[in-house]
Structure 1
Amino acid sequence: MAKQLIYTVKEGKARGAKYCSLQERSQQQVRDKLYEWGLYGDEVEEVIAWLISEDFINEERFAQSYVRGHFNLKKWGRIKIKQGLEQKKISDYCIKKGMKEIDEEDYQNTIVNLLEKKWRTIKDPNLYVKKQKAVRYLLQKGFEADLVWAEVNKLTE
């Protein structure tokens, strides 16, 4: 049987501060970690409140960092990024603030680049099937259908 970790509020604050200083974290991620460490109820909320007051946790900053990382590195679209933030229980206000990190021109260029790259890898001779596969790929990455179809139609003209 695994030994259960039990920490005091003071230890929770210290461990929480270290945990948050490694990378941006959402309140929910920190809350889950504190429960995992053996703190419960009011203890967890006390530690979370302290971490927020000391600026270790900042949901706006987290949302901006999440959006930048997932767009620039993973090449995710707005839909998938928004869903990821909602799963982490980020407020709508912070999500909107974070989404401003995506430059419209970069977003359009990313769609075009991903589409061209995928288009070269699809070997199907049927143009209809090739279009479907390319569109499905970009939709899966979280890009909006109207933008994807517009680019696919430009590519095949």
Structure 2
Amino acid sequence: MNPITSEIWQKITRYCAYQERCHFEVKIKLRELGATAEVQDEILVKLIADNYLNEERFARTFARGKSRIKSWGKNKISAELKQRGISHTVINLALAEIEQEYRENFEKTATKIFEQTTEKNVLKKRKKCCDYLLRRGYESDLVYEFVTKLEKGN
């Protein structure tokens, strides 16, 4: 490697070691660092070979983090991963990993939002809660079913 390439290599390995990255993010960073297309390809291959980059590992970590910390639903997680160029198969693997805690996170979030919504009109309260949960990326059938259950409980 020439001196410029080795400098880019050092920067990009630190970038990848800091947190999980996908190919899309690394390509953007390499462009920012001024790497040519040839150098980008060479570095990407080496990053994959040295296990700095792994799309499946990234997708699983991303899905777990967004589900646990941000309370995102499967639809939003899936859309974000697609936007980053992750394959449909890898997305399904990542979503399958969060399946166990997904329902629990959803119910906790939905209950919290339902209780915090101060709207007196039942229909407006339902709409506000449902809209919030749908924006979070939860599936519509899951949202409407659970909000109806919460209404009957109150």
TM-score (norm 2): 0.92
Residue 102 (structure 2) pairs with residue 107 (structure 1) = yes
Structure 2 distance, partners of 1:74, 1:35, is: 29
Residue type matched to 1:28 in 2? Answer: F
Deviation string 1:37-89 (CA, Å, 9 cap, x unpaired) is 11111111101111011100000000000001000111100000001111111
1:140 paired residue among 135, 142, 149: 135
Q: 1:34-113 counterparts in 2 under 5 A?
A: 34-104=30-100, 106-113=101-108
Name the structure 2 match of 1:129: 124
Determine the C-alpha separation between the residues in 2 that align with 1:14 and 1:46: 14
Q: Secondary structure at the match of 1:18?
A: helix
The answer to whether the Cα contact below 8 Å between 2:68 and 2:105 also exists between their aligned partners in 1 is: no
Query: Within 2, Cα distance between the matches of 1:109 and 1:41?
Result: 45
Q: Distance in 1 between matches of 2:49 and 2:104?
A: 39
Q: Distance in 1 between matches of 2:96 and 2:103?
A: 15
Return 122-131 or 142-151, whichever deviates more.
Answer: 122-131
Aligned residues: 150
Query: What secondary structure, in the 3-state scheme, does the structure 2 residue paired with 1:100 have?
Result: helix
User: In 2, Cα distance between the equivalents of 1:113 and 1:122?
Assistant: 14
Please name the residue that 2:115 is paired with.
120
58-67 or 11-20, which deviates more = 11-20
For residues 100 and 46 of structure 1, what CA distance do their matches in structure 2 show? 33
Q: Which runs of 5+ in 1 are unaligned?
A: 1-6
- SS in structure 1 opposite 2:112? helix
- CA displacement at 1:119 relative to structure 2: 1.3
Percent of pairs with identical residues? 33
Q: State TM-score, norm by structure 1.
A: 0.91
- State the alpha-carbon separation in 2 of the partners of residues 91 and 12 from structure 1: 27
Q: Residue 13 of structure 1 contacts residue 50 of structure 1 at CA under 8 Å; is this kept in 2? A: no
Distance 2:93 2:111 in 1: 30
Could you tell me which amino acid in structure 1 is paired with residue 83 of structure 2? Q
1:13–1:51 CA contact under 8 A, matched in 2: no
Distance 1:83 1:103 in 2: 17
